Every structure is written in structure tokens, then in C-alpha cells.
Structure 1
């Protein structure tokens, strides 16, 4: 498996983390707080954040291309140490090329933009020149608060804010060419931007949850989805954007009825540097799991917290995002009856209180952390365990901790990469 280029240094080898299947074992939460600057090495160029290439967002992408500026062959990230100056020069050229391409695409689409502006105005949405943007991974988008819901028209939302998938699909059929999209004759509705790589709105979809959710169908189930409510794509005949990498579900053959109730906390190996966590663990700080049981229903909760350098902006405020899953398993029917996912948004104080704790902290801590939460999807109805596992793994795309939880070990390519990292570290002066 080949990996992206990156700035490289080595950490002398320390005690290796023992492999373990942690599903049925309670682990105490670690205490302590990282002293690393919250800006993080990959977020130091704050003004570049909106246009960083996808391979900087810690999603395990194996291949990279930087527009028309460079083509870099896939390599093991430890092969090259890129100097800061060289990195910044590449980034500057990359951004200049992206901006030039965007200006040209918008200029070529003058008539299309004018036509859509009139359409939006007829629906009460007033757009200006600044409302349109070309994004390499998406196309030409129109931006305005609530534009997607306005153009979609009246629709009954759930109490959690989600919209019925089938009702949207009846009006705007799911696109056969663009996953995560509902295609109309004049615009395309898109799924929520938190499904994108790094949860960043300029990136392509993270593999492969959106693809699986769009295609998933089974007797008796109802699907609900969150839309990108402030953006629609308007170049409906434009080209798609393909990225040649993927992620896989974990093998799992355990009977849900036999899983013990309790909590587990999984962490990446403690001997890895932050850059390794970013590349190979999707910047995951931890994965918390909890199983509980009441009145014949076994409930599952999972929370994936990222390292402190991963933040997103919502309504002008910066938050630490955490992806949350919840499911209910009916012991009588031996299948899941409900499954949902959300994005939780922690303030800085909330983040550092929560990340080294667990799901039981709310019962022990009188401060009671209640993060802001936005529901992203839900499925009601009979759901097979295999489908549930696949959707879990792909919701937490590129995070080997999920794979470890279900299978008891990391994916083969992750183990091989860790062996190479430790082998090279052991050969350095001071290495074990």
C-alpha cells in the first residue's frame, strides 16, 4: 500500500501497544491533556484551509495529484522529508492554479449563472456574483442560507431535522453519476458536508458511506438524510470527480445477543507520532464504545473523537467535531430496528474534558458535557448485522480503530505500515 507525501521525522521506538480485541473489556480512561498547539502542524497556514488538497485531511488517501502543478508518484510517507519552504512553495503554486481554474470556469458559465440567478429569485432567494463558486471536487455551486430547502419545496422534516430520503428521491431522483446527490433539471441537491473528507466542504465524499447509504434498500426500512442546506450544484451536466481509493468494512460474525454490556475505549498505538496518527488513523484520538440493555433492546453507542488539530467552522465558530453512532438491537427479532449517526460539536473546554473520559462520565461528572449535535442520517426498520457493521465502518472511514473493534486487529495494510515505521525508527540513533 502506498501513501501520500508528507513532512517527515522519526520517533525512537518505545514500548509497543499489545494487540487486543477490546469489545467486551472495560478500559479505564486515560487522564492528561496534550500540550501540542491546537493549531497543529497541518493547520498552521490558516488562510489556506479552505483550499487544501484532500490528502492533507488525514483520511488515508493512497494517491495524490496536485491539479496541473505537479504529479507525485505514490510513496511511503517516510521516504521523503519535505522542507517547510518547499512545502509552502508547492502549496502556493497549487492554490494559484486552483484560483486560475476557478475564475475560468465561472467566466465560461456566465449564461448558466444568470439563468440560475433568475430561477432562485423566482423562489425568493437573491443571489449575487459572490454567491457562486467553482470547487474542483464538486463543480459550480450556488451558496445562500437555506437555499437547498427553499428550492426543494415543502417537505415534512423529522423532529431531529432529517428529511425522508424517498420523498426527496421522488422529486429529485438520486443521481446515477454523482453519489450523494439528488439531480434535478436545473440544480443538484447534495448530502451534508460532514460526509466529505475531513468533514470539509471543499473535499470530495469520504469513501464509502454515502455510496452505500444511497444504494442501501431493504424491505421495511425507512431512510432519512441531512442535506447540505446552504449549497446546491448548478452545472448539472458537468463532469464528476473520481478519486481512486476506498475503505473496507470489517469481518464480524459475533452474535449481538452475546455481546456483554459495558464500555471500551480504543486508542491508536501510543508510540506513533502525530503525523502517523493523521495519515494512518484519520487523525483519530480515540473511539469510545458502549453497549447497554433495557426491556429487550440492546443499545449501541460509538463516539469517534479526533486529535486537537482537527476543527471545523460552523456559523462563524470553531468546534472540535466528533462523529457519533447509535443503534438499537431487538433481542426478540434478532436484528437492529434503528440506526442513526450525528456530528457532535465540542467547544475547546468540552473537548478536553470529554476525550479522555468515556460514556459513563455524564453519570459521574456534575458538569455534564452536552455537546451541540446535528443528526446526519437514520434508518428505521429491520437492519441486518452485516449491513450495520458495513455502515459503521464506512461512517468512520479510514479509522482502523473501528476495524479493530469489530475484528480484533487492524487491517493488514495498517499492520504492515506500522511494522515499517517501527523498523525504521529502531535503526535510528537511540532506537531500540
Structure 2
């Protein structure tokens, strides 16, 4: 699937207004909370807030939230968003730098959601934090919230999401970025709280850590993150502490149908990457082993070897490059990193990064010497099988999935917030 890349992101104000008017007309009869989605990516959080989707055999009901306008600067992400009309056909996404969108054209909203760019705060990045130009983009969210405080219909709250590296990124005075956001939004009348969450505790088949920051107007009291656990319990959502089996990699890979969209599309490794993967070798198992998960064979009845993952440490020393031999011979000095990780069928997969490089994340299939297919990583991120990822280059598809908020995590957050609002009306 191809698209034409639009690099001219700065549009006249009237063009923005026409897109916004279209969205408002589509949403005119909605009694749901109206959501402004910034830095939307391909729509993982938007889908979670919306609900009304099925992941494998479990249905996640509609939530009382409707996105009225979305925005992202990345053409690959916006094309994916626009291509999923089943879920997002009732509103528009504007491809633009949010700093170039006239604030006067932004409609009133009840909630703002924003996953402002995480690169400055990422553990894998340069960690320039707030001093990086992209790190200042959360201030654009602050400006919009501040301006909407002057409107007749003031916002109720916001949800921000970021990588856990933001916890240790500092302002010049030493305040962490989340603490700074709490302080600034308090001045706007919000009770703001934040928490580092692990997605696999909330129904996502990935041990992915993210910082969630939730602010609500003071009349609604502070949000209680314990509500996320109550939602998981109420809806019997698989998690690490209860029914972990359904989150295991073997379960996730076992029942992908051959005709599922993009189930065969995968990004080939470079010759050097393929060499490493071939020399590491596959984890224990085969198609018959996957069928054991499909038939829900109890974990205690599975072969013992099935629990062992692999990495570069499973290579023969003579097959290693000089760099890896140095690490192999002095593991304490290099802290024994787990490069080229291959998760076993009974493990929950680790974070899929936007770069999808085998050295940096567990992107290699446990049984086949290749990257996961687009559909496989979409499942690891908890996207429904009918959510598609069209691309100009296949690397773009991996990038937008890796950057996304897992929809099921978004759904649990949405359901918990709506419970909190009902209890504090």
C-alpha cells in the first residue's frame, strides 16, 4: 500500500478550519466527551478511548469519548490514521506541526490527549530533555489548555503519555518533567497525577513501560490509578497476575489466520543482522507447538525447553564480531546487555521500538529467523486484526506501530476515567 508523502505541513488557517468544520459536523449529535488528540500517531490512544473493537476473541465496548480533531506531523502516521475509516471516519486528522496550527481554529473540547514526542526523553536517545526543541512541545499543550480556559466550555481534563525516561529528565532547576507538568497545570485549575505503568498489567501482550499523566479539573478530585486495576478485574482482562497465558507470545502468534491483513508482510534484515539471527538460532518449538497454545494446553503440560529465550549470548564465540567478543569476555564491564533478544513462546514480549532493530529490541520471531510481520507486532501492541498499516516503505509501518500507545492500555485508561467522573459528578 502506498501513499503520497506531504511535506508541506503549513496550511492557510481557512484550510484547517474546513477540516475542523467537517469533524464538528460529523460529531454534532454526539453526547460523548469531546476529545482533542495531539501528536496522535497512527491512533492507538484514540482507538483505546473510543473502544468498540475486538482484540482476538475479546470485545472492548464503546467508551463515552469521541475524538473531534486529531493532529500529527508525520505523514506515515497520518496516512495510517486516515486509512482506518472504520474507527476514525467521523473526524479529521490534520498533518501539521501543531505550533503552526492557529489556536483560534481549534474547537472547544472536554479532554486533550497528547503523546508529545518522546525522543528527547528516551533512554535510547540523547536525553537532552527539556533543552531539546521537541522537548518543549508539551508547552504547546499547556498554551492550548490555557487559552481554552477563557472559552465558555472549559476542558475537563487531559491525558499525556510518554516514555519512562521522562521521569528522570529535568528542568534547569532540577524538577522532573512530570513534576513540572503537575506544577504548571495546577495553576490552570487541574489536579494532576502521574504513574509509570507496565502495559502487560492492563491487557497488552507487551512488557512495555509508559508514563501516564492525567489531569482533571479540581471539582472532580484527583484521579486514582487504582481504578485501572479495578477495570482489569471487572472486565476480566488478561494480565501478568491473572491469565498471563493469553498474553504469552505463543498465544499471540498461534491464531493469526492466513488471510489476516499484512500477516505475511515483514521487513527483511540487513546481511549482518540476518547473520546474527541465523547464528543465534530459534527458540524451542514449531508449528505444532504453536497449536498447543491455540488449544489452550496448560502451561505445566508444555515441554520444559519451551520457556527459554535466546540472544547473542547463545552464539558460539568464534561466530561473534570483535565487538561482541569484547562484551562476551568482559560482561561486568559492559553490564552483559541482551542484544538480539528472542523471546520464548511462554514469555511476554518486550517493548517494540519504532526503529525495530534486532539489536535494540525483541523484534525477531521466536521460531523463524526473521522480524515479526506487521500483523504480529500489531498484535503485540494490541491492535485489532482489522486495523491496517499502509506504508510507502515497510520501515514506516514498523515505526508507527512502535510509536503507538497500545489501544487496550488506552481503553483501560478511558474506562477508568469515565468511572472516576461518574463517582465524582
With normalisation by structure 1, the TM-score equals 0.26
* More helix per residue: 2
